[in-house]
Structure formats: C-alpha cells, structure tokens
Amino acid sequence: LSVSLFTSLHVIGAIHSKNLVGSTDAIIKYVVEVDPNKYETIRRLCGESTKIVPYGDGGCERVLADPEVQAVIITTQTGLHKEIIMRSLNAGKAVFCEKPIGETPEETQECYQLAEKLNLPLFCAFQRRWDPTISRIQSNVRDGTIGHVQIIKSVSRDSPLPSIEYLKISGGIFHDCMVHDIDVITWILGELPSQVHTMANAQIPEIAAINDYDNVVTTLRFPSGTIGVINVNRFAAYGYDNRVEVFGMKGMLQAENKRPDSLISESRDGTSTNPILFSFASRYHDAYRAEMKCFIDVALGKVPLPITYDNTRSVSRIAEAAESSARSGKPVDIAWEKSEIPVGYFA
C-alpha cells in the first residue's frame, strides 16, 4: 500500500511514521508537513526515499494527484482534519485520521457522508481497541464469561503533563482524553448509556485559566443496569496510568498498567518493581502497530471498516453530555434514535 502521511510531526505522527517504516505491507511515498522545521526529523524517521512536501504552495494538491498514492494518514492539528479528509476522499484515497474527524458534529457528518458516497473507507483512530488485553476483555464480556456486567471502570491519568499550548487547541479533556475511555467502555459492553453525571475541577491553575478541567469523574448509567465509572486526570506523577476493570456476576476482568518488565525484587527492605511506563506512546506501542495493520488491510479491501460513523458519533455525543454535566453540575439524560445505534450495540 502506497501512503501519504499528512502531519505536524509530534508524538502521534512519529508513532505512525515508525510503524509504517517498519511495515512490510506499506510504504510512505510522501510526508506532507505543516512545519518546515520538522523536515530533518522526518528524513531521519522515514529515510531518503520518502519525499517531503510542504502543505502549502500546491504541495497537498500534487500529492493527492499522484495515482500511486492509495491512502492518506492524517495526524495534523484538528483544524486541518476536515479539509484534508475531503480533499483526499475526492482524490479517491482511503483515509486514516486521528480523532476527532471534524471540529463539530456537522463537519464529522459531512466527512462520513462523502466517504459513503464515494465508497471509500474513513478510519477514525481509537487505538485502545487493538491493545491485546483490552481486546480479550471485550471478547470475554461479549461471550458472557463473567455474566451480566454490574460495574465497568476505566482510569486514564496522563503522563507527561501536556503543554498549555497543546491544551488550548486540544478540544478539552472530554473530547481529547475521555473519548478513548468512552469508546472502550461502550465497545466492551456493546451498549450506549442513557444518562451521564460528571464531577470535575481544575487543580492546575494554568488549566483552570483556559476554562478546562484536569480532574474528572463521570458515571454512566446503562439501560441493562450496568454502571460505568470513568476517571480522567491530566497528570500522574508516577507514569501513564491506564486501567480497565469489568466486574460481573460470575467474575472480574482487569487490564493493568504495563511496566518495562515483570521483575519483582524482594528483600528485608521491602518489595520493589519498575515504575509503570511513562507515556501513552510506550503503553500502547503494540496497539498502534496493530491498528495501522488493520487500516492497511481495510484500505486493501481485506477486512471491513471496524469503527463506523455511528461509533464515532455516539462517542462524541456522550463526551458532549459528560462535559455539559460537568458545567451544569447535573446529570444529563441521553435518548438514542434507532438509526444512531451502532451495529452490534443496543441502548
């Protein structure tokens, strides 16, 4: 698969670059970079055979006009997502895009409508689905291994603390961070919540100054009686803390934090282990690789699109309700039309 990577090279762009360079199923023909200061870093990551093209000055048009390019991968700032998606689809390319697809529900809908009209895949990246442990939890829950789920919990505490410059353009903690927890919980259960209730505050003054939160707990009420709990924080001093727990009538399933190795040291001074992994890039190293492999297979027509418009729309709507609850201090009810419920889910 010949691909073009549209990026403003930061952590996620570097992750996908490395995975594509290491893939036997794809080659990066072009990198379209927004920031000229990143060109040398791109050359080191992608090699001399990859052509680096500026986003402006007709660079985008030249790349999309190349018939050898079959797919486009987008890791730019959110404000460019819709423009690149629409151009790429109209040029006949399969599209992989980091969330969110658009800055508004209307933009997202427009992108998916064009993809459907042109019969091209638009793949929204929610990499946690490809984590081996989380994937096994989903399979076990759907198979009924632990019976009816009573409580499902997700913890996401970030490391390192993102820069204020990034946070200002991130879309806020609900749409930047919590969407991953919402996607995982609803995907594991195959169910959408009927009510959410959030308590949140900002304990870091710089985050309070931009009217965002850094300390959040959201509860989700599901029609089946399951209760969901999501805890999201912008910074954990001890590393990237991301865990999932599912408690059912017949047992419990857990995805714990990852460490560099499983060594436990015991002595008369006590017990010690290595710290948990530092960031999401290391925690989800395997998941990002598997996610990109899935997109390549989707683009080549080998497998169906695993994350649909209904998936991304429902996740965004739940995130909006969670933020609305945080700002009002009141629970928010969510009513779902039948046409809004993803295939394989209920509400």
State residue 55's pLDDT score: 83
* Mean per-residue pLDDT over the chain, rounded: 94
Residue 6 has pLDDT above 90, yes or no: no
Both tokens of residue 254?
Answer: 């857990």
Say if CB 181 and CB 156 are below 8 A apart.
yes
**What is the average per-residue pLDDT within 29-46?**
85
Residue range 220-274, pLDDT digits in tens: 999 999 999 999 999 999 999 999 999 999 999 999 999 999 899 999 999 999 9
Q: Round to whole Å and give the CA distance between 98 and 327.
A: 27
Name the band, by pLDDT with cuts 50, 70 and 90, for residue 36. Answer: confident
Token code pair at residue 307: 């994350």
- Stretch 306-327: mean pLDDT: 96
pLDDT at 41 exceeding the cut of 90: no
CA 343, CA 252: separation in Å to the nearest integer?
A: 26
Q: How large a percentage of the chain has pLDDT more than 90?
A: 82
Reported as half-sphere exposure (CB side, CA atoms, 13 A), residue 171 has a value of 18
pLDDT value at 9 more than 60: no
What pLDDT, on a 0 to 100 scale, did the predictor assign at position 101? 93
pLDDT digits (tens, 9 = 90+) for 264-283: 999 999 999 999 999 999 99
Closest CA to 295 of 12, 7, 26: 26
CA 236 – CA 259 distance, rounded (Å): 15
Q: Dump pLDDT digits (tens) for 139-157.
A: 999 999 999 999 999 999 9
3-state secondary structure 71-136: EEEEECCHHHHHHHHHHHHHCCCEEEEECCCCCCHHHHHHHHHHHHHHCCCEEEECHHHHCHHHHH
Three-state DSSP state, 62: helix
pTM: 0.94
Tokens of 129: 């689905």
d(CA 105, CA 204): 30
Note whether 234 and 200 are within 8 A (CB).
no
Tell me what the mean pLDDT of segment 27-48 comes to: 85
For the cut 80, the answer to whether the pLDDT of residue 34 exceeds it is: no
C-alpha pair distances (Å), 249 with each of 146, 148, 228, 245: 6, 6, 15, 14
